[in-house]
Amino acid sequence: MTNIFPGLPLIESPIFAALKADWGLNAEEERIATSLYEKGYAVFDFPDIGLEDRIARIQHHLGPRYGVDFSDPGADKTCGERRIQDAWTFDEDVRAIAANQVVIDLLGKLYGRTAFPFQTLNFPVGTQQEAHSDSVHFSSLPERFMCGVWLAMEDIGPDAGPLFYYPGSHHWPIMTNALIGRQGYGSALESAQDPYGPSWRALCDAHGALPETFLARKGQALIWCANLLHGGSRQNNPMLTRWSQVTHYYFNDCIYYTPAFSDEAIGKLAMRDLVAISDGQPRPNQYLGQVVKNPASPEDKNMSWHRRLKACAKKHF
């Protein structure tokens, strides 16, 4: 069947059922695709036969950077740095997880466009972050061509601040500045997602939505759609760790930008200049195959809000 909606990921298409029949998916791919379409997330076993050793090396290499004594079982593991952004730039194992070709190929098949990883975040503990959608941080034109893949690097119990999410919330409206009545371009924010919190909570209340918690086994991974509401549960035991890695992926032939600092209706986009982790090559902003230049002037890029955008990205998750 011809895909008459190429501006939507296949797993978010309104004709998903019809497309799936001619998609050529194997049983596992169909399970993942259906879960993403219906729930906005899917769990799978990360495809890396060397993962056990890779995780051990990451913990050994990154551990000292967090400022916590992980060898002391009685130490408060939450008192140091909670995340390292883009460790792929200096840690080959982090890069290998992000650039796993089986995962990249799977995402490309599910979304209908070639996927590429562009950001990593590594955590020794839970984020304890309120429910939010990635779409205010990382979005695309056309919309929804972004996803996250979260990997558990140890077994995670209920007291370690496990990941939670609201199944089906990816179907809800994508939060934009126009939707909540604020101007984003040039705004000064300490947190890119704070302005949208009341709106997300209102949607949860209106839908009677309840969160589900992911008590992951080591080596399990979870794909989430761009607009899925998710966050980090309260860490009840600060002596526990919650080692994990998130990799964010975009897809080719899109415009990549940050909605929190954009006003789409008047053409003001905080566009992103990206490099693919998988091959180290730039990925140009494109629309229907045509390269779109970043309109931000050198003066714009030196503005405090532009620097704050980068800082907010580092705080995310």
The pLDDT tens digits of the residues spanning 165-193 come to 999 999 999 999 999 999 888 877 667 78
Query: What is the per-residue pLDDT for 278?
Result: 97
Q: SS3 of 114, please?
A: coil
The sign one gets for the Cα dihedral 182, 308, 284, 42 is: negative
Mean pLDDT of all residues in 208-216: 98
Cα–Cα dist 145/107, whole Å: 10
Tokens 């209102």 sit on residue? 202
Q: Is the pLDDT of residue 302 over 90?
A: no
User: What superfamily in CATH does domain 39-315 come from?
Assistant: q2cbj1_9rhob like domain (2.60.120.620)
Predicted confidence band of residue 315 (pLDDT cuts 50, 70, 90): very low
Neighbours of 88 (CB within 10 A): 23
| Pair 68, 80: CB distance under 8 Å | yes
Q: Is the pLDDT of residue 86 over 70?
A: yes
Instruction: Enter the tokens of residue 313.
Output: 């990205």
Best mean pLDDT range from 136-140, 213-217, 306-310: 213-217
Q: Where are the domains of the chain?
A: 39-315
Give pLDDT tens digits for 26-73. 999 999 999 999 999 999 999 999 999 999 999 999 999 999 999 999
Q: Percentage of the chain with pLDDT > 90? A: 83
> Rounded mean pLDDT of the chain?
92
Mean pLDDT of all residues in 238-245: 97
Cα–Cα dist 247/113, whole Å: 17
Query: What is the per-residue pLDDT for 296?
Result: 66
Q: Is the pLDDT of residue 310 over 70?
A: no
Q: Is the pLDDT of residue 252 over 80?
A: yes
Predicted confidence band of residue 300 (pLDDT cuts 50, 70, 90): low
Predicted confidence band of residue 314 (pLDDT cuts 50, 70, 90): very low
Q: Is the pLDDT of residue 266 over 50?
A: yes
Mean pLDDT of all residues in 180-207: 88
Strands 146-152 and 163-165: what pairing?
unpaired
Give pLDDT tens digits for 93-150. 999 999 999 999 999 999 999 999 999 999 999 999 999 999 999 999 999 999 999 9
Query: What is the per-residue pLDDT for 295?
Result: 77
Give pLDDT tens digits for 273-288. 999 999 999 999 999 9
Strands (E), the chain: 41-45, 84-85, 115-123, 139-141, 146-152, 163-165, 212-214, 220-225, 230-232, 244-251, 255-257, 274-275, 282-283, 286-287, 290-291
Of 121, 185, 115, the C-alpha closest to 153 is 121
Query: What is the per-residue pLDDT for 189?
Result: 67
Q: Percentage of the chain with pLDDT > 70? A: 92
| Pair 87, 96: CB distance under 8 Å | no
Cα–Cα dist 70/92, whole Å: 22
For the chain, the helix, strand and coil percentages under 3-state DSSP, each to the nearest 5: 35, 20, 45
Count of helix runs (H) and strand runs (E) in the chain? 9, 15
Query: What is the per-residue pLDDT for 294?
Result: 84
Position 87: which residue type?
Answer: A
